[in-house]
Structure 1
Amino acid sequence: MSEKLSGFQVEHFKNLLQDRFYRVRSDLHNELLALDKEGGVTIAGVVYQAAAGALAHLLAGLKMIDLNHYLNEVRDIEAALMRIAEDKYGICLDCCRPIYFKRLLSYPTAKRCVACQRLYEKMRNE
């Protein structure tokens, strides 16, 4: 069984998450600015054939997928920072056991231990 994180470890993850939050927020801001400049008009303007119109629609959809990825990451980071503030960071939401330090190193926004995450994903896919 893993042990609860030390104050130093929690502070390390807090700093790591805050840095990542600002980078992701900046990336999201830049993507939104680029999207606003393009407005889909550039892509649609260049593409004038009927079949190519579907391509323009696909490209616009891919841009939205990128934006959703950024938004989801921001939400995950905010949730992890909230768990830190509530002294619940590194504790599995499902079984309430500590999450392994190595898991948090590779996935700082982890909400669940590996076993509970596998069960969660299995239940979600059924």
Structure 2
Amino acid sequence: MAKLSEEQLAQLKEMLQHRYLELREEVRGELERSGNQHYADVAGSVPDPGDESVADMIVDVDAALVDRQVNEMRGVEATLKRLAELNFGDCIECGGEIGFERLMALPTAERCVRCQELHEKTYSHEPNPTL
């Protein structure tokens, strides 16, 4: 595990737990909102193709937003697990320390800056999912 003080670890753990609760509330809110917003309300009782397209797009955007939030929650859970198992703060590529400043900016970071930059350059050509 990276050489982080107990205070730094506690600070990062608190940030992660706070973010997890925020995400949980965001997902709950999105699901409640989308449950209250019926397709017919958005598209109208006799939808034309334009209204129907807009309604489909709204449903897709809501689903994508919830999916992003759930994926971030999974990342936070995995990070909290690494923290509990004392396997936190080490780069998964080179094994070096990630660094407290980077972890404060992105507590779920799995790579040091150098390895992350290399990873992004190497895999930037892969297609990104879109709506």
Query: How far 1:107 sits from its partner (Å)?
Result: 0.8
Q: Distance in 1 between matches of 2:20 and 2:62?
A: 20
Aligned mates of 1:31, 1:4 — CA distance in 2: 39
Could you tell which deviates more after superposition, 115-124 or 97-106? 115-124
Query: Which ranges of structure 2 fall in alignment gaps of 5 or more residues?
Result: 126-131
Cross-structure match for 2:28 = 29
Q: Output the CA distance in 2 between the equivalents of 1:94 and 1:52.
A: 48
CA shift digits 1:73-123 (9 cap, x unpaired): 101110110110111111111111111211111111111111111122222
Q: C-alpha deviations, 1:2-30, integer Å up to 9, x for none?
A: x6211221111111111111111111111
Identity of aligned residues (%): 34
The residue that corresponds to 2:105 in the other structure is 106
SS in 1 for 2:44: helix
Query: Partner letter of residue 65 of structure 2?
Result: D
Moved more, 3-12 or 88-97: 3-12
TM-score normalised per structure 1: 0.88
Q: 1:49 to 1:91 in 2, by over 3 A?
A: same
- CA drift of 1:46 comes to 6.4
Deviates more, 1:44-53 or 1:34-43: 44-53
Q: Tell me the equivalent position of 1:79.
A: 78
Aligned to 1:59: 58
Q: TM-score, with normalisation over the residues of structure 2?
A: 0.85
Pick closer, same or farther for the CA change 1:23–1:97 going to 2, 3 Å. same
Please give the alpha-carbon distance, in whole angstroms, between the structure 2 residues aligned to 1:59 and 1:91. 40
Counterpart residue identity of residue 56, structure 1: A
- Shift in Å, 1:47: 7.5
Instruction: Output the CA distance in 1 between the equivalents of 2:89 and 2:46.
Output: 49
Equivalent AA in structure 1 for residue 20 of structure 2: F
Q: Give the 3 Å change call, closer, same or farther, for CA 52–98 of structure 1 in structure 2.
A: same
